[in-house]
Amino acid sequence: MPFDTVGVPPGTLIMLVLRVLQQGSFHGYAIAQRIHMLSGDVLATEEGSLYPALQKILLKGWATAEWGLSESNRKVRFYKITPAGRKHLAAEIKDYDRVTTAIQSILHPLGS
Amino acid sequence: MGELWRRFLYFINRRQIERELEQEMAAHRAAMADPASFGSTLKLREESNDAWGFGWFDRLHQDLNYASRILRRSPGFTLTAVGVLAFGIGLNVTAFGFLNTAMFRPLPGIDNPHTLMRLTRCGPESSSSNLSYPSYDFYRRHNTAFRSMLAVAGGELTFQETERWRAQFVSSNFFTELGAGPSYGRLEFREPGDIVISAAFLARHFAGDPAILGKSILLNRQAARIIGVAPAEFIGLDPQAPDVWALLEDHPHFFPQSQFLTSTAMQPLHLYGRLAPNTSPQAAEQAVRPIVAERRKQAPTEIWQDEYLPVEPGAYVMQGSFSKIVGPLLLAATLLLLVLLTACANLGNLLLARSVTRERELAIRTAVGATRGRIVRQLMTESIALALLGSAAGLILSAFATKLLVQALDWPAFVDASPDWRVACFAFGAGLLASIAFGLAPALQATRTNPQRAARLRLTLIGAQAAACCILLIISALLLRGLNKAVSDQPGFAFEQSAVIDPDLMGVGRQGKSAQLYFLQLKTRLSQLGGIEATALATIPPLGQRQATTLLPIGIVLINSVDNNYFETMQIPILRGRNFRPGDTDVVILGERAAARLWPGQDPVGKQYTGYRGTEHRTVVGIAANAPIYSPGDPDAMEVYKPIQESDMQHAVLLIRARQLSAIQKAAQQAANEIDSRVIPSLTPMRNGMDRRLRNSRSGALAVSALGVVSLSLAVIGFAGLISFSVTQRTREIGIRLALGASKWQVIRLGLDRLMLPTAIGLTAGIAIAAGLAHLLRSQLYGLSRIDPVSFLAAPAIFLFCALVASTGPLSRAAKVAPSTALRHE
């Protein structure tokens, strides 16, 4: 693993996965790839946390899974976001924005 | 909801989903530039599956697998443990089964049993299960709380002068309200003398031939017609199923001039009610209160002040007055739980001993990363598996035991005592509780590395066993000795060759002077028979089912109205003062105990006796020896005798004492009938009543003794096992001691020494608790001395003796240890 990548901050993985799925259906490997790519090669998803997160998403009904063929003609499972997933994502993003704004305002006070 | 559903679907398709996840991961791995960095798919898969929250299930499955393997691998241990548990649980299950049959399982053939209520009578000082027809009629007409009210009265009808049919007189709505349709004919009383017979009676008496329907017969010399046969499973509301049912209002038809329907002095009815929809028994009870108060204005002699009618479930073997049986039930439950407790303590020790031999296995599991909680859970799973096996075995054992007991007790045929879901739940519930009782402490202990504490736990368990066993032994010794006393002691009155002739004069409408005349004639006829030594009149026959009591400041006393021959006939000596004289009215003779309690240390003769609620005043003229005619051997029974009056004659019975009762029995009965042909007298030897009372105490004593023996054997086996275990564990130490010149006795003492203190503490605690329980028992069984030194000393002595005998084996093994081999011992 190259030095300039970092792990996904704890608690944000589900949000990131859902955000990726908002753009279309992807399989596990592609989701990890896209997170890496979209984050400008900064965030690396560990498989150890990706699959538990995907199972939780299935359990909560935020996405459904279907078998299909990958670009390399392998049998893979495509995850597809559900309306409930979209709703949850919107709420998560809103919460996350509020928290980051709050953290920003502590780290970089307006006066300084 | 969706989440639960998805979880459920996942659970159903677990295997397939896991396989799919594996495939998915394999694809992911193959797509990666560096597949090796993917990590362990197995571990990942498990972690991913944990998201669904079924990890515990897999672990349980694993633990159960492991437990069953462990239990299979040591069949000796498993069999012992399951056997011990089966005994402890089986006993409790059997007892619960009987309770279940009596209280929770409705009588057969009754519609909606839960809405059928029994009404009894309760006042501040008295309670009764019966009431009079006029009162029933009043309640029925003014009833608002119940959809309908039913009444039942027991009785007998005589067929062809000799055959007595068990009869029940019932209200006209009896069959319709209980929901019984006829198996033949109709169940609807139309003409006077219509009767319905039970299916069992049809089979027994008429060879099952329904041609009997519509036939006219004579019952009590009155015309009767069999109009219908009740369904096979239907027995009515009395577990002692009757042969025939007749209409309440037909009582005078079968007993001409009977005052059944008009008198408030006759109280033969049991009252039932069907709850109206959405009415609780409590609400019904409240609604009946004002009606009872209203009734009291009309019948102040029958209805007590502040009387109310408790409303309790009525469609069961046990009906009403539940508060009365709480004491005995608690006592029985305590004794039974004590046996289970001995079993659990025993098993706990067995598990502790085993955990020593499993130290290596547990150490390995800990070393490869099992947490303490995980190991405790696994050990508990083993205990629970044992307990479930024990419960199942106990259930089977109790099914057999119940079958035998039902046969031995000669229960009515309808009683179905086979286990049902309640009994099964009870068995497995008891098993689970037991597994906590015997499994948890050893499991926690096994994961600690402190042998000192393990030893202490072992000794505590031995103490608990000694205590439980001691209690059971003392109680059974008390019961056996009480029974022995009841058999050998003279009860204080002559019952062997005596009998009660009950002509039931009220039933044929003879009262007052007419009844008195009847008895006069009867006495004359009997004196001509020869062979009868004495006769007397009384309202309460000795050793019968009847009793009359009143509450005095000194407690409950038994009232009996008797004539001046009573004391001579029953051979009860008058200790002071005089006997009754003809014409006595406002006098009283007291039993010795009642007198001593009322006026301790004084001469009671000539004192003023104040009876019922301070309203009755009589002069004490004599003191008779104690004669507890209702409960022989009861050291608390107190008697009060009043001279019998003309107005008592309708209830009176004639007591006879013969030289040879069997010789004159038939002639006496015939004589009683010849004086008045309507009278169909019963003649009951007092011996019968005595035998019935002894039978009850005997079965009680036997049951508790059986518990005592079971618990004694369990405790003794545990005791010996523990000694054997400690000898094995300390073989090396014993060898060294022997090598250094210790005597065999010192070695034997070494084995016993540490058990002495816990055993002594256990036995002492047992004696103290038994003394408390004995106090409870005293009111339940006759002839029991509360602090009987023999019982209280014999029980611990028996325990110690048996424990020592059982320990001789392992102890002699210790004494025979050869130092050289012992030192080589692992």
Characterize the bridge pairing of strands A63-69 and B116-119.
unpaired
Mind listing the pLDDT tens digit for each residue in B418-475? Answer: 778 888 999 999 999 988 888 888 888 777 766 677 778 888 888 888 888 888 888 8
pLDDT mean across residues, chain A: 85
- In this complex, is the C-beta atom of A7 within 8 Å of any C-beta atom belonging to chain B? no
Q: For helices B451-488 and B686-729, give the axis angle rounded to 10 degrees.
A: 160
- Which chain A residues are closer than 8 Å to B51 by Cβ? 52, 55-56, 59
Q: In terms of CA atoms, which chain B residue is nearest residue A52?
A: B48
Q: Which residues of A touch B6 (CB under 8 A)?
A: 58-59, 61
**Residues B32, A58: C-beta atoms closer than 8 Å:** no
Whether A51 and B27 lie within 8 Å, measured CB to CB:
no
d(CA B335, CA B358): 35
Q: What is the pLDDT of residue B622?
A: 92
Q: Cβ contact (<8 Å) for A77 and B28?
A: no
Query: Is the pTM higher than 0.80?
Result: no
Confidence of residue B780 (pLDDT cuts 50, 70, 90): low
- Binned at pLDDT 50, 70 and 90, residue B590 comes out as very high
Predicted confidence band of residue B783 (pLDDT cuts 50, 70, 90):
low
The proportion of chain B whose per-residue pLDDT surpasses 90, expressed as a percent, equals 16
Instruction: Tell me what pLDDT residue B136 has.
Output: 93
In this predicted structure, the answer to whether residue B754 has a pLDDT above a threshold of 60 is yes
Q: Which residue has the higher pLDDT, B7 or B415?
A: B7
A1 band by pLDDT with thresholds 50, 70 and 90 = very low
Would the CB atoms of B27 and A54 count as touching at under 8 Å? no
Rounded to the nearest angstrom, the gap between the alpha carbon of residue B208 and the centroid of all alpha carbons in its chain is: 36
Percentage above 70 pLDDT, chain A: 93
Chain B contact set for A52 (CB, 8 A): 47-48, 50-51
A74 and B30 within 8 Å at the Cβ level: the answer is: yes
- Span B177-202, average pLDDT: 87
Q: Which residues of B touch A70 (CB under 8 A)?
A: 27, 31
Decide if A74 touches B, using CB distance below 8 A. Answer: yes
Q: What share of chain A is helix, strand, coil (3-state, %, to 5)?
A: 55, 20, 30
- Is there a contact between A29 and B28 if contact means CB atoms under 8 Å apart? yes
Lowest model confidence (mean pLDDT) among B62-66, B488-492, B625-629, B796-800: B488-492
pLDDT band for position B662 (50/70/90)? confident
* Rounded Cα gap, residues B688 and B665, in angstroms: 14
Residue-level pLDDT at B124? 77
Higher pLDDT, B556 or B1: B556
User: Higher model confidence: residue B306 or residue B555?
Assistant: B306
Please classify residue B21 by burial: count the beta carbons closer than 10 Å to its beta carbon, then call 0-12 exposed, 13-18 middle and 19+ buried: buried
Torsion of CA B343, B345, B348, B353, to 10 degrees: -100
Q: Per-residue pLDDT tens for A96-107?
A: 999 999 998 998
Q: Between A and B, how many CB-CB pairs are < 8 A?
A: 63
Asked whether the beta carbons of B542 and B655 are under 8 A apart, the reply is yes
The rounded distance, in Å, linking the Cα atoms of B559 and B155 is: 25
- Which helix (H) or strand (E) segment holds residue B146: the answer is strand B146-159
Specify the range with the lowest mean pLDDT, choosing from B212-221, B330-339, B432-441, B746-755: B746-755
A54 and B3 in contact by Cβ < 8 A? no
pLDDT of residue B743 exceeding 70 = yes
Reply yes or no on whether the pLDDT at A2 is more than 50: no
pLDDT above 90: residue B417: no
Helix or strand run (H / E) with residue B556: strand B555-562
State the pairing for strand pair B184-185/B194-197. unpaired
Residue found by looking up tokens 């020896």 in the block: B625
Q: pLDDT digit string (tens) for B672-692?
A: 888 887 787 888 898 888 888
The more confident residue out of B415 and A109 is A109
The arithmetic mean of pLDDT across residues B694-717, rounded, is 79
CA distance B464 to B761: 9
pLDDT tier for residue B415 given thresholds of 50, 70 and 90:
low
Residue, of B147 and B328, whose pLDDT is higher: B147
User: Is the pLDDT assigned to residue B491 strictly greater than 50?
Assistant: yes
Residue A111 in tokens: 């006066």
Task: Report how far apart, in Å, the C-alpha atoms of B731 and of each of B215, B457, B728, B751, B823 are.
Answer: 88, 21, 5, 11, 8
The segment with the largest mean pLDDT, out of A8-12, B71-75, B722-726, B774-778, is: B71-75
Return the residue of A nearest to B10 by Cα. A59
Over residues B491-502, mean pLDDT: 87
Structure tokens at B234: 């239907």
Which is higher by pLDDT, B583 or B634? B583
Burial of B723 (0-12, 13-18, 19+ CB in 10 A): buried
**Mean pLDDT, to the nearest integer, of B554-563?**
87
**Residue B612 reports pLDDT greater than 70:** no
On the CB side of B728, CA atoms within 13 Å amount to: 11
Residue A61's closest chain B neighbor by CA? B3
Q: How many CB atoms lie within 10 A of CB B2?
A: 10
User: What's the helix, strand, coil split of chain B in %, to 5?
Assistant: 55, 15, 30
pLDDT reported for residue B323: 65
| Mean pLDDT, residues B138-146 | 90
Contact B3 A60 (CB under 8 A): yes
Q: Under an 8 A CB cutoff, do B2 and A55 touch? A: no
Where do the H-state alpha helices sit in B51-74?
Answer: 55-73
Q: Considering chain B, what is the average pLDDT of its residues? A: 84
Average pLDDT of the segment spanning B160-176:
87
CA–CA distance from B267 to each of A27, A74, A89, B539, B798 (Å)? 87, 92, 80, 15, 51
Q: How far is B46 from chain A (nearest CA, A)?
A: 9
pLDDT at position B825: 58
pLDDT at B699 over 80: no
How far is the C-alpha of B748 from the C-alpha of A91, rounded, in Å?
Answer: 78
Reference B514, options B650, B655, B677, B678; nearest CA is: B650
Interchain proximity B6–A61, CB inside 8 Å? yes
**Chain B CB within 8 Å of residue A87 CB:** no
Residues in chain B within 8 Å Cβ distance of A75 = 23, 27
**Residue among B735, B677, B821, B628 nearest B220 (CA):** B677
Distance CA B286, CA B604 (A): 45
Greatest extent of chain B over all pairs of C-alpha atoms, in Å: 125
- Contact between B637 and B558 under an 8 Å Cβ cutoff? The reply is yes
Angle, alpha carbons B212-B217-B223 (nearest 5°) = 135
The set of residues, in sequence order, having a beta carbon less than 8 Å from that of A94 and lying 6+ positions away, is none
**Start-end of H helices in B260-410:** 281-298, 322-357, 359-367, 372-409
User: In chain B, pLDDT over 70 holds for what percent of residues?
Assistant: 95
* Burial of residue A110 (number of CB atoms within 10 Å: 0-12, 13-18, 19+): exposed
Closest CA relative to residue B540, chosen from B560, B519, B564: B560
Instruction: Identify which has the larger pLDDT, B808 or B134.
Output: B134
A56 touching chain B per CB within 8 A: yes
Phi, psi (degrees; rounded to nearest 5) at A92: -60, -45
Chain B hits for A59, CB-CB cut-off 8 Å, are 3, 6-7, 10, 51-52
Angstroms from B319 CA to nearest CA on chain A: 54
For residue B14, what are the contacts with CB-CB under 8 A and spacing of at least 6? B54
Mean pLDDT within A41-63: 85
Q: What pLDDT is recorded for position B38?
A: 74
CB < 8 Å to A2, chain B: none
Out of A56, A61, A76, the one facing B51 most closely (by C-beta) is A56
